[in-house]
Copies of this chain bind each other. A is one copy, B any other.
């Protein structure tokens, strides 16, 4: 006697992610969401709880997706310097190709909701620590297989590259000039040499 779901929760969540990503938490209204998600207002509350809960779910989806992409890239690309280069240049081109200039959802959320939202702040801290480790482990992999000088500090370099990555995500919103930013990437990656 139970019915099957009429709409795909994941699809709806992806649309919510796009909206929050583009406009941020405060500038996105429930009316915006109801208009664009394709489901009813009541269903929205039934399924996701409310605006805050929906935002957190959408944000979590973004983090999972982008983390997975980076993990796959780092796993498939054996040349560590090349792996970072692809990651950075992908971010630059993503910003160039996106007419919305949404930038990075994590960076946007960091600057919009800190201070004020302690729950999000905890998530962001955890996310930063994960990314930091991900970067550092990849550098360590390069050291282990002899691509990178073993005298280098993997954690230090990992955090430095992650910092540069965040800076690129900010600047690409203002001026997505690919050639200039790609030179920045090359210069930044010189810490690996």
Which A residues lie at the B interface, using CB under 8 A? 22-24, 26-27, 100-103, 107-108, 110-112, 114-116, 121, 124-125, 128-129, 153, 156-157, 159-160, 162-168, 170-171, 173-175, 180-181, 183-184, 187-188, 190-191
Contact = CB atoms under 8 A, between A and B. Distances in A.
Nearest to A177: B159
Contacts of A23: 116
Contact of A115 (B22, B164, B191): B22
B116 A27 contact: yes
Contacts of A129: 175
Contacts of A165: 167
Contact of A163 (B102, B107, B159, B164): B164
Tally of this chain's copies: 2
Contacts of A102: 115
Q: Is the contact region of chain A dominated by helix, strand, or loop, or is it mixed?
A: helix
A110 to B, nearest CB: 6
A114 B101 contact: yes
A28 B180 CA distance: 35
Contact of A24 (B26, B159, B162, B180): B26
B112 A24 contact: yes
A184 B190 CA distance: 14
B170 A110 contact: yes
